Amino acid sequence: MSDRTNQKIVVTGAASGIGLATAARLRREGAAVFTVDRAGGIDLEIDVTTPGASETIVAAALAKIGRIDGLVPCAGICEYMPIEGHDDAFWERMMAVNVTAVFRMVRAALPALRQSGHCRIVLIGSVMSHFGSAGLVAYTASKHAVLGMTRAMATELGPHGITVNCVQPGAIQTPMTVGFLGNGETEMAQYWRNKSALGRLGQPEDVADVIVFLLSDDARFVSGHGVFVDGATMQQP
């Protein structure tokens, strides 16, 4: 629905970065947004990986905004860790946040989503869904999983009128990426800046704008895709 005055959206990871920018853009357009994060300043403060978190989020969202037309499980982590010294706990935490919690969120919200006539799900993938990078084995594996979930969910949920897509950001300056991009002046930041044909790092709003499009009625026949938001990073040598 291009007119968002009646649209009800749940956004996790909404206290910062892409989630914050997405919630802000949706609200400016008149949508009712239920925000979730571990940090404060949102509607529900909860760790999405805790047992029963997804069911708690859905129940709280329905109590506050009445229904769910769109879901953006935006909570995620990205950390650099070489294979040597890469313990099981690090791997399991990456998968718990980036993959398992996303699946649980969709599963818990599905009964409510089916009742919406304009249901959209937008997951958060990465350019890493299509290639790998040294030191990002766990993160890369998690984002390959997100793209796979997107395609499978779109196939399974399409008959219910539900579209499922994911955005695939390049290097975006957010609190999540500060560990390796720093303030934008690190060697790694310059690498990604050079790799983008547009010659810059992305901002949360660059990704949020595409998420908002995929949540709209304008994207009603777009489903099962990973949409690159990367400044042509994938086209550069």
Which residues are known catalytic residues?
Answer: 139
Closest residue by Cα to residue 60 from 105, 2, 120: 105
Q: Distance (Å, rounded) from C-alpha 14 to C-alpha 235?
A: 30
Q: Distance (Å, rounded) from C-alpha 137 to C-alpha 193?
A: 21
Residue with tokens 């800046």: 193
Residue with tokens 């999540």: 176
